[in-house]
Amino acid sequence: MKYFPLAIAAIILIGIQACTQKPASMHPGSGITEKTILATIDSLTGRYGMNQKAAIDKGVRQAASLWMTIDGTEAEFQSFCLANYQGDPAAREQLFRKLCRGFEILRGYNSKINKELLKPLHLISEEEPGTIDELFGAYNPSAHFTDDFFANKIAFITILNFPFYSLSEKTELGPQWSRLEWAYARLGDMFTARIPAEVQQNATAKLTTSENYIANYNIYLGNLVTDEGKTLFPSVLRLITHWGLRDELKSHYADNENGLKRQQMIYQVMKRIIDQSIPVEMIDKNTFQWNPYTNTLFKDGKAVASTPEGQQRYQMLLDNFLAMKAIDPYTPFYPTFIQRKFEQEYEIPQEEVEKIFVDFVSSPVIREMGKLISRRLGRPLQPFDIWYDGFKSRSSISETELTAITRKRYPDAMAVEKALPDWLMKLGFPRDKALFIASHVKVEPARGSGHAWGTEMKGDVSLLRTRIGANGMDYKGYNIATHEFGHNVEQTITTEMVDYFPLYGVPNTAFTEALAFIFQKRDLILLGMQEKNPLKEHMMALDNAWSCYEIMGVSLVDMNVWKWLYNHPDASAAELKDAVISIARDVWNKYYADVFGSKDEPILAIYSHMIENPLYLSAYPIGHLIDFQIEQYLAGKDFASEIIRIYSQGRLIPQLWMKGAVGSPLSAEPTLKAAEQALQVVK
């Protein structure tokens, strides 16, 4: 399932890039000499004192690194700095508040514009979206933001007075900073690259195209047939890949009669999607029948010719890579998208993230879990058992029973929206807080799997766009909606309950995923169904560890695909397809084959995020680790007050946020240790 509209994610990624304290000459186009920089620093230091020299040096040098000949002469640069540096603390704070007001207005209303323009692509309506809708959806009203604010010099005023601090500096100095000092530092993250508007607009357009491709990639499972020509699924069952297919597969662990056959058929469909041999006639169409094992298409019981999809899935991925790579020359301090994603956005180096994942998926604890799952299933593991769902309390409750409940309660988006305050109160939120948070969330029927789209200014609403069928919300849609609502709760707390605009939000997307997971696990509570399993805590530990194992492998594929792309920038879509499948099989063979007893499985390449949301997948396993640490901390405490306290910290760096939240840094050890202890009990 996807959680944030990608056009906005792209703007954030490419509009706010990190830089370190480098000589001015390193930035292309800079014409400010070291002599002028030193003279400017000396003049300002003489005016405001030696105690401000370090701050002056940082601000002047960073401003000089981005000053181009079109911005003025060296003399004009020096005059600008002397006129606009605010050495008086009160004057600087006043400037800070005025900048925050302007930026919040601009970002907030630009976000609202995007939400409206993308409605035809995101929401169910009587009209199918056409080319004009895609063109409007691809339009980025913020595309000229960076250019405009360097041109009017507001960007330079910001840089000069609120310079950027590197991750190492934030790590060292952050624990001693006040909330205001943290807000100053985060404001310094805003203008550290000058990316042409047309380059940003191209990236937005490519992301929007791939998002729309995935949003309409549905399979009618009732049109799948066995070798005997029989169907295994209801005729009306239309599921999006990969989310819907995966969740349908997971739902059949409680089906002892036909569950395994259905799971095997879904996996066969997934493999056809991965290798692109799936007939285009079966993508979001229900005119034909299809045997995914033989890859034969039927019409009225007779075999007919079909057209394989070919390379389109991988062309989308390639187009996104090329769009992100086009940004590289304008971000010399982090010259690849991989670095920008991990070192700037996640604020955890890619190598460190990869090591955490590799160590986890290699753990002996996981091998023991695989043996336990095999015993519980009464059969050898199959590749799709990476989605084993038997540790959840609801695994013994039939999907049909749960869907009957959700369809009755939630026939449409309005019914879901009306239920939100009650959901919160069932989790312990006081009535006033529940009504306040729910009033800042609007529910809309999604065309795709749905997403949570936050706001960037106080007083606005977050969107919960969720999939609701003609007969109401089925259990899969409800379960996803509870996840998305967790995002909405985070989005509301981190906007409405955070003190300074630059601190709105969370350290990175993994932290909002953590709260979404926490809400999703309580979906039965929200239905008023009490869990009575005495092994609940141990089962949750096993479920979390197995979920980490699954998604970390997917993330390793994603990271290695992007490394391959940078090593093969001229690759064709066909070559990329072969590389993705090869990488997926390689990761499987290294870390999964010994657990599952089969080699060369491509299943880790099925995730749609890889196609539409570049390098987002790593947020999930990090989110699972955060989720588990928070869950352990919450035990025995007031859920609602702690969630508000934890998330109102806002956008600190990850490890400092974690220490403030639960008293310890981010680590995989608690998850593995708890799973190891649970194994002894559950056995």
Q: Edge-to-edge strands of the sheet including 441-445?
A: 441-445, 462-466, 450-453
Per-residue pLDDT at 470:
86
**Residue 553: both structure tokens together:** 């492998």
pTM of the model: 0.79
Q: Are strands 441-445 and 462-466 parallel, antiparallel or unpaired?
A: parallel
Measured in whole angstroms, the distance separating CA 117 from the mean position of its chain's CA atoms is: 21
Distances 674 to 356, 365, 681 between C-alpha atoms, Å: 17, 10, 11
Each residue's pLDDT tens digit, 367-387: 999 999 999 999 999 999 999
Q: Whole-angstrom Cα distance, residue 18 to residue 14?
A: 10
Of the candidates 238, 279, 248, 7, the residue with the CA atom closest to the CA atom of residue 118:
7
Between CA 185 and CA 162 the distance in angstroms is 7
Residue that is written with structure tokens 């997403």 in the block? 451
Show Cβ contacts of residue 347 under 8 Å, excluding neighbours closer than 6 positions.
Answer: 167, 170, 507, 508, 653, 654
Tell me, what's the pLDDT at 29? 52
Residue-level pLDDT at 400: 87
Cα–Cα distances (Å) from 168 to 174, 430, 458, 504, 637, in that order, read 10, 40, 31, 21, 33
Separation of alpha carbons 3 and 601, rounded Å: 27
Both tokens of 664, joined, read 């310890």
Question: What pLDDT score does 11 carry?
Answer: 36
At 394 the pLDDT is: 55
pLDDT for res 396: 59
H-helix or E-strand containing 511? Answer: helix 509-520
**Closest by CA position to 137, among listed 348, 414, 385, 447:** 447
Number of neighbouring beta carbons within 10 Å of residue 235:
11
How far apart are the C-alpha atoms of 348 and 346, rounded to whole Å? 5
Domain chopping of the chain, boundaries: 6-194, 217-275+277-310, 348-391+534-617+652-682, 398-526
Residues of the chain with pLDDT under 50: 1-28
Q: How confident is the model at residue 17, as a pLDDT?
A: 37
Residue 194 has what pLDDT? 87
Rounded to an integer, what distance in angstroms lies between the CA atom of residue 576 and that of residue 161?
45
Nearest alpha carbon to residue 611 among 570, 554, 567 = 554
Tell me how far apart the alpha carbons of residues 483 and 518 are, in angstroms, rounded to a whole number.
Answer: 8
- Long-range contact set of residues 594-600: C-beta below 8 Å, sequence gap at least 24: 594/367, 595/366, 595/367, 595/370, 595/381, 596/370, 596/381, 596/382, 596/383, 596/385, 596/386, 597/380, 597/381, 598/382, 598/383
The CA dihedral of 369, 370, 373, 377, to the nearest 10 degrees, is: -170
| Per-residue pLDDT at 531 | 65
Tell me what the pLDDT averaged over the chain comes to: 91
Q: What's the length of the chain? A: 683
Half-sphere exposure of 613 (CA within 13 A, CB side): 22
- Give dist(CA 29, CA 44) in Å, integer: 25
Q: How many other C-beta atoms are found inside a 10 Å radius of the C-beta of residue 559?
A: 23
**CA angle at 272 for the pair 271 and 275, rounded to the nearest 5°:** 85
